[in-house]
Amino acid sequence: MNILPNRLDRGFFRYQREFEDKALEVLRSGWYILGREVSSFEEEFAKYLDAKYCIGLANGLDALWIAFRILGIGNGDEVIVQGNTYIASVMGITINGAIPVFVEPDEYYNIDVEKIEEKITNRTKAILVVHLYGQASKMDKILDLTKKYNLRLIEDCAQSHGACFHQRKTGTIGDIGCFSFYPSKNLGAFGDGGAIVTNDEEIAKECRIFRNYGSEKRYYNKVVGANSRLDEIQAGLLRVRLSHLNELIEERIQLSNNYLANIHNPYIELPTVRKGATSVWHQFVIRTKKRDKLIEYLGNKGIGTLIHYPIPPHLSEAYRYLGIEKGSLPITEKYADEVLSIPLYNGMTDDEQQYVIDAINSFKS
């Protein structure tokens, strides 16, 4: 059997008619940028999350850097973020000239809230919390800290559409929630897309202006903005996907529970979910000291795997200028050496999953 780490085609074919009808509807409408589909999607996604405002953008990275820009966080300001995130989280901080201050992750792969306070200085302006792999971070403790030190709280929800902490959806707990709709995300478009979500009317207004060259009224520009608009066709297709998001998440939870109940191998550490949090299982990430061997073993059986992520941002070439040495974030670096994402996708069959389970259980170092 041949099993890919992810299969976007399955997610398309399940709702093929709805997607194709919507695509044709938009193509035939004669209106392709900032129209009915975008405003309807913004309304529906805000409602889904229980947030007041949603502003569609071109991608998730834009959502991040525009969030920091609007909050006035830039040159020389420090932003606290977990060390083991996707590099886009960090670029969202540094594009504005701000400095990322890395904190080690906990056993749920999210920021270790016990290690944040020691990193706060008088230059700290914000915490960027990343709900990595689809699991909500420990937001109560983080909110306590942002109140105590008067910090802004931005959420990177690129992997966590629909995940909750204490029944509140990620993206609505901090000042700004940043979403990506890159095709492989749980709420994926058929191209790039992103959004900012907020309950703050002023932030929403500034963001709406910023994404369209800083203009509220055509050809009257208030600020130097960006071109970061969500396309009508992507918004329309996202509306279709959003209408099925809960069942898609439910399916991922079932698949993940099945892995959790049936993978037994002493060389492998399975993921866990924190009390009070939920995961939408963007990735199913195991950990093993025998990673190279396991990748080869599974590969020989036709099973593909991915590493999220092999090089932590502080050790990537792009961030050599920060001067953070190898060994300074031992847990982050250990995770980068040991994590492995095994196949998980909407439309994965029982046979496919059983094949993966049997292969992993038969692995001997």
Ligand X SMILES: *Cc1c(COP(=O)(O)O)cnc(C)c1O
Residues that bind ligand X (CB under 6 A): 59-61, 85-86, 88-89, 130, 156, 158-159, 180, 182, 192, 194
Pick 188 or 225: Cβ nearer ligand X: 188
Report whether 289 contacts 340 (CB < 8 A): no
Q: Report the nearest approach of ligand X to the CB of residue 161 (Å).
A: 11
Report whether 265 contacts 117 (CB < 8 A): no
Pick 11 or 194: Cβ nearer ligand X: 194
Q: Report the nearest approach of ligand X to the CB of residue 66 (Å).
A: 12
Pick 100 or 265: Cβ nearer ligand X: 100
Q: E strands of the chain, at which residues? A: 53-57, 78-82, 99-103, 124-130, 152-156, 164-165, 168-169, 176-180, 194-198, 215-217, 220-221, 284-287, 339-342
Pick 63 or 342: Cβ nearer ligand X: 63
Cα separations in angstroms, 353 against 92, 261, 283, 343, 364: 36, 12, 14, 8, 19
Q: Report the nearest approach of ligand X to the CB of residue 62 (Å).
A: 7
Pick 59 or 279: Cβ nearer ligand X: 59
Pick 59 or 332: Cβ nearer ligand X: 59
DSSP 84-117: TS-HHHHHHHHTTT-EEEEE-B-TTSSB-GGGTG
Pick 3 or 130: Cβ nearer ligand X: 130
CA atoms within 13 A on the CB side of 144: 7
**CA–CA dist 267, 272 (Å, integer):** 16
Q: Report the nearest approach of ligand X to the CB of residue 266 (Å).
A: 31
What angle (nearest 5°) sits at the alpha carbon of residue 328, between those of residues 327 and 332? 80
Q: Report the nearest approach of ligand X to the CB of residue 197 (Å).
A: 14
Sign of the torsion formed by the C-alpha atoms of 36, 158, 161 and 69: negative
- DSSP annotation of 226 reads -
- Residue 229 tokens read as 């608009």
Q: Report the nearest approach of ligand X to the CB of residue 160 (Å).
A: 9
- DSSP annotation of 156 reads E
Instruction: Specify the amino acid at residue 251.
Output: E
Q: Report the nearest approach of ligand X to the CB of residue 188 (Å).
A: 10
Instruction: Specify the amino acid at residue 139.
Output: M
Pick 133 or 355: Cβ nearer ligand X: 133
**CA–CA dist 365, 296 (Å, integer):** 11
Report whether 268 contacts 287 (CB < 8 A): yes
Q: Report the nearest approach of ligand X to the CB of residue 229 (Å).
A: 14
Residue nearest to ligand X (CB): 60
